Structure 1
Amino acid sequence: MSPLDRDATVHAIDVVGWFEQPSLTMDRCLQDLQKVIDSGECRPVPHMVYSADQIYAAMDGVLAGQEAGKTVIVLDDGVSLDRAPEQPVLDPTATYLVVGGLDGFGAETARHLVRRGARHLTLVSRRGTARNQDAAALVSSLSDQGVQVDARAVDISDPKTVDQLFRDLDAGGRRLAGVVHAAMVLDDDEVTDLSVERYLTVLNPKLTGALLLDSHTRERNLDFFAMYSSFAALLGNRRQASYSAASLTLENIARQRRHDGLPATVLQLGAISDAGYVLRTGITSVMSDYGILPMTSSQALDRLDMLLHHPDTTVTAVVAESRGHEQALMAFLPAVTAPRTATLVHTSDAGADDSLLPRLRAAATAEEARPILLDALTSWLASGLHTTPDRVDVSRRIDQLGADSLTATELMGHIRRHTGCAIPAPEVMTASLTSIAATVLHHLRPESQS
């Protein structure tokens, strides 16, 4: 505000109001502005341009306050925005503990840690290797690769047994560098049919085990502390109340550790096709019928790699998209259509189908067509605002509802694709959905103006 030092007067002008009504004066102003921009007389504000593959460097500069003016990302054709998984390099002199690491996906995790450089593993499960051929084969395979494996039977929910486990780890003389909590027990049923004992059967290994691991590692210099949760914690499952509760509590434990400056990551796992419970029980096809498409253990462990290399995410969902099975998934888990998870099903917006324009033209009158169009507009805007249509006030200007220029552009795109009407941005940004509907209907049905 240095001009005030020279006794200048500053006026605030609401230019948005200029666009609310047609104005020849405003049209001339915009034309004059376009001329000085085209001639080069009016130069862009200071800015830095980055290509799409430099987006992380651009954001780092913004966060560090190193960029002057605007930061622009150029989206060139053929540029991938997916960050390739980076492989973490583990400490070959340290020990890594995998709870539930002798079976299923926990065993795949143990193999994965070895591929990333681990040479000393402590793998525990309730049974250990006794009467467990798969566990014995795992230990033998890893040992043949030169890995030192300590496989033992441990009830991770028993404080005395866990105390002894950590005393033995300390006696080994190596730093405990990482913990993966993969233990789980399932006992699915309706809530009304679950006894206290059945609840505890599920809660103890997952929840109590996590609490004990947390308390025993708080004073240790860990590189990572990863816990396997379930996508049931994200979406719910009426027959997995106990498992969902345990999984949600893992997230609270992780957030508390992060708050205390300690490492913690939770992976909300979906169905794994080639290891663990889904494979063992042979329900891969059943899960697919429900719209829950399985992913491979390799795909899930790629996400673990990303989190270990960039441990800035506390909770992440590791699930396959449900393309082609959206209706089945929504019938099985209705909550998936909530704004935070709607991208998993890729459903088309309500009213955003090819029948919209024929339905508008088939309406007997403009008044009959108006609610059809308004429903579509409301759905499109709600999607852009990450909310539900019932929370959109159609009588308020969309910028007052929280729509920015990008949201308005997306809404204009929907209108153009599904009605063929190209509406100027100012007429969309500063208008209510009711007003926008009237404008579209005027283009489609001139009699609606009367």
Structure 2
Amino acid sequence: GAHRVQLPTYAFQRQRYWFDPATPGTPSAAATDASSVEARFWEAVEHEDLEALTTTLEIDEQTRLGELLPALSSWRRGQSDRATVDSWRYRITWSPTAIGERTAPLSGTWWVAVPEGRADSARVAAVVAALGRRGARVVPLTVATTGRDAVRDAGRDAGRDVLAERLRREADTGGTPAGVLSLLALDDGPHPEHTALTTGLALNVGLVQALGDAGIAAPLWLATTGAVSVSGSDPLGSPAQAATWGLGRVVALEHPQRWGGLVDLPGDLDERSADRLCAALSGIVGDSGPEDQLALRDAGVFVRRLVRAPLRTPGRESWKPHGTVLITGGTGGLGAQIARWLVRSGAEHLVLTSRRGTAAPGAAELREELIALGEGGVRVTVAACDVRDRGEVAALLGRITSGGEPVRAVFHAAGVVEFSQLADSTVADFAEMADGKVLGATHLDALLDQDHLEAFVLFSSIAATWGSGGQSAYAAANAHLDALAEHREARGLPATSVAWGPWADHGMIEHGEVAEHLSRRGLPAMEPRLAVAALSEALHTGETSLVLADVRWDRFVPGFTAARHRPLIGELPEVRDALATTAAPDSTGPDDVADTFLAGLAGLPGEDLDRALRDLVHAQAAAVLGHSSSDAVAGGRPFKELGFDSLTAVE
């Protein structure tokens, strides 16, 4: 109930005492639809209206009463499943934001990193001039790739050390910069050694690392052009540059204190666009805090947001598999789940590929399972194909179509997941991650017969949507896939990219410790049966980009927002509630467990006290990182090297 409070004796004591009017919760569209269906059902039951009841349940009026209970049970499960799937659905939008008459003169020294191959371009010159006219002392830094013959020491790229030393000298002679703007992503041609990557992405990886090595804490901004689409009239021009956005989202988590943001530049940087760029760099764009993911267009400034994407009405089955369906990574965990769903949906011919084909573990058993599941009505081909190799992909498609059966749908699920902090990664690590995902998708995009293709489905990840510590290479590769789907849509071609959250019983989630760790951070694993149902809905409704993840925002938000403002998720009501709860003062007093532990420490001699504290830190670090034993946490290593990011640090 209500309680009395002491009012201030004078104004401006920085505490508010006004009553706030109660705001009734607004039900979601999905909840409204579900309530409407349930209301019709119960009304029919109450009025003993058999016709209305059977219509709602979609069963024959002559169905015997004994058959009604299974129908009711099935209907109820369907409604529950739909509500669960609906709660997983999100999408990215771009919202216009006004900066009005606010101006943003820059001050101090700004380093502008430019790729060697674009150093003389008009766009680079326009950016440098724009910053200079608005008060910055601009120092262009031309950055070149490291060739094949470069010496690598202890898994580090040679160019990284050279660049770090160069940055140290520049800071010593010209002073610490106020900010760093990278235009390196504008070189979106293939890297000379790792063709799955662009030169610009590789250069940006080296720049982030070198800045850290040199101890430069100035905010870093990564710029692109045509890497995002803010509307249907703004086609995405460079899917390859979008990989830098995936990289940047992880940098924001691993190095929040020296992160500026991501900005996509317009085709022509006129005076208005230059003003907007400088406003972004100075941090004045944003009503509740600086924006860190922006796109500058002729129409204004747009900011990136994650919003819910509920299905307002149940989707009609407008897509069904028929003809030949290709699944890359088809013998793996995700591929097998998709294959089973396709067989249940009436697929006629599945082609499952992996690098080892029939020699892949479990491939033969999966084929037999699928044939049995299809009761003899489906053909299943398991083929060896390295999707990184354009020639092998072309040969596979040639064999498939030689019998007059074009590929009607493709599900690109190939790829691996590896964890490595950006500071410990090399360009080769990024290339290895991109090889299967990016090259495979690029080859399929180029080689498939688009006239007969009805579905082109790319398996992406939430790591590309909002970042994930230790997954910079993975996030970059998946951001490229998301952009490729939008690029195909702009060309009038079918495409669906799904940024998945973790699936239960798949990959790393098969290990209970990892599943528990993710769940504690607010990312419980999704049940595969429902994840597949969510994918089916996306295909029925023709969605191009979708995020499917079970996020418990009350657990996810505190860690995600601890180190800096995260406007990406700020418009979700659950996030606002979590932020309000986090900001509320804690009046519960010291934790009893902590009190007990501190009391136990009080009487220990020095050596025992040190040992007890070390054991505590090791045990807590191991628990947060998902290790079963504190022995897995090496002493004497920085927390970042152990795999900590801003989320795990808060936990």
TM-score surpassing 0.5? yes
1:285-304 CA deviation, whole Å, 9 max, x = no partner?
12112221111112211121
Q: Deviations over 1:100-143 (max 9, x none)?
A: 1111111101111111111200010122231512x221101112
Structure 2 CA distance, aligned partners of 1:209 and 1:243?
15
- The yes-or-no answer on 1:256 pairing with 2:483 is no
Give the Å deviation of 1:241. Answer: 0.8
Aligned length: 278
The superposition leaves residues 214-260 of structure 1 with CA deviations (integer Å, 9 ceiling, x where unpaired) of 00125332111010000011111231111111111111211111111
CA contact (8 A) 1:88 1:305 kept: no
1:215 aligns with 2:446: yes
Q: Which has the higher contact order (CA 8 A, sep 6+)?
A: 2
What corresponds to 1:90 in structure 2? Answer: 320
Say whether residues 1:180 and 2:408 are aligned partners. no
Equivalent position to 2:352, from 109, 117, 123: 123
Deviation track 1:4-60 (CA, whole Å, cap 9, x = no partner) reads xxxxxxxxxxxxxxxxxxxxxxxxxxxxxxxxxxxxxxxxxxxxxxxx659xxxxxx
TM-score, reference length from structure 1: 0.56
> Which residue does the alignment assign to 2:341?
112
Structure 1 residues 272 and 335 mapped into 2: Cα distance closer, same or farther (>3 Å)? Answer: farther
Match of 1:447 in 2: none
Kindly provide the amino acid, as one letter, of the partner of residue 136 in structure 1.
A
1:293 to 509, 524, 535: 524
Alignment match, 2:555: 325
SS in 2 for 1:338: helix
Q: Which runs of 5+ in 1 are unaligned?
A: 1-51, 55-79, 356-450
**Residue 84 of structure 1 aligns to a residue in which SS?**
coil
In structure 2, relative to structure 1, the CA distance for the partners of 1:81 and 1:252 (3 Å cut) is closer
Whether the 8 Å CA contact 1:237–1:244 is kept in 2: the answer is yes
Distance in 2, matches of 1:239 and 1:305, equals 31
Query: What is the alpha-carbon distance in structure 1 between the residues aligned to residue 521 and residue 414 of structure 2?
Result: 25
Q: Within 1, Cα distance between the matches of 2:432 and 2:316?
A: 37
Alignment match, 2:366: 138
Q: Is the 1:218–1:262 Cα contact (8 Å) retained in structure 2?
A: no
- Following superposition, the deviation at residue 346 of structure 1 comes to 6.0
Matched ranges for 1:50-449 at <5 A: 53=33, 83-84=313-314, 86-87=316-317, 90-92=320-322, 94-133=323-362, 135-144=363-372, 145=374, 146=376, 147-217=378-448, 219-279=450-510, 283-311=514-542, 313-322=543-552, 324-327=554-557, 329-330=559-560, 338-339=568-569, 342-343=572-573, 345=575, 347-348=577-578, 350=580
* Structure 1 letter corresponding to 2:364: A
Superposed CA offset, 1:255-285 (max 9, x none): 1111111000100000101333422686211
Shift of 1:187: 2.2
The structural deviation recorded for 1:174 is 1.4
Query: Structure 2: where are the runs of 5+ without partners?
Result: 1-31, 35-309, 586-651
Matches of 1:244 and 1:128, distance apart in 2: 27
Give the superposed CA RMSD. 3.1
Q: Structure 2 vs 1, CA of residues 111 and 339 (structure 1 numbering), >3 Å: closer, same or farther?
A: same
- 1:425 aligned residue: none
Q: Provide the C-alpha distance between the structure 2 equivalents of 1:164 and 1:141, rounded to a whole number of angstroms.
A: 27
**Distance between the aligned counterparts of 1:297 and 1:154, measured in 2?**
26
User: CA offset at residue 167 of structure 1?
Assistant: 0.5
Q: Is the 8 A contact 1:95 1:177 kept in 2?
A: yes
Aligned-partner SS, 2:314 = coil
Letter of the structure 1 residue corresponding to residue 577 of structure 2: T
Percent identity over paired residues? 30
AA partner of residue 315 (structure 1): S
CA displacement at 1:152 relative to structure 2: 1.2
Query: Aligned pair in 2 of structure 1 residues 304, 221: CA closer, same or farther (>3 Å)?
Result: same
